[in-house]
Amino acid sequence: MGAGMRKLAQAITEGTVTEDIYVEPSGFPRRLYMLAADMSWGRNVRKNGLTKKDLYRRPD
């Protein structure tokens, strides 16, 4: 990730364009990544006064 950020910073400084840069979370287990990604949605559902049932309801 650091190399990609340096390359991006250099392109910005020079005012040039660079190819797309992809970063993989190497060494980070997919299961933990998915767990972290899903952590806040339940909290946000409750903050907005909804329930899980509301999320699976078909639109009218």
What are 7-45's pLDDT values in tens digits?
889 999 999 988 887 777 677 888 888 888 788 887 888
Residue spans per domain, the chain: 2-55
Structure tokens at 55: 């999320």
Q: Is the model's pTM score more than 0.85?
A: no
Structure tokens at 30: 């997919």
The larger pLDDT score, comparing residue 52 to residue 16, is at 16
**What span, in angstroms and rounded, lies between the C-alpha atoms of 25 and 11?**
23
Question: Measured over all CA atoms, what is the biggest interatomic distance in the chain, rounded to whole angstroms?
Answer: 53
**What span, in angstroms and rounded, lies between the C-alpha atoms of 27 and 17?**
30
Sign of the C-alpha dihedral computed for residues 24, 30, 32 and 33 taken in this order: positive
